[in-house]
A = this chain, B = another copy of it.
Amino acid sequence: MPYVNIKITNEGATAEQKKRLIEGVTKMLQDILGKNPQTTCVVIEEVPTDNWGLGGETITERRKREKK
């Protein structure tokens, strides 16, 4: 029954990585809190780097700075 929402930037997470994330988080909720995995819901949202801000700048800007 838990609901987990994971937001990340859309920088190329693969279907395989998302699959492992869903498996892992679902198992963790079962192991730590005893939650029934059958009704655990995990939703991954991938956000464009222009739309994500950290430290007052977009991730697009941050990535540019990092490359320099």
Q: Which A residues have a C-beta under 8 Å from some C-beta of B?
A: 1-9, 13, 15, 17-29, 32-33, 35, 37-47, 50-61
Contact = CB atoms under 8 A, between A and B. Distances in A.
B32 A21 contact: yes
Contact of A8 (B13, B35, B54): B35
Given A43-B52, A45-B45, 5 more contacts: A1-B8, A17-B32, A21-B28, A39-B54, A44-B51
B22 A41 contact: no
Nearest to A20: B32
Contacts of A42: 52-54
A39 to B, nearest CB: 6
A2 to B, nearest CB: 5
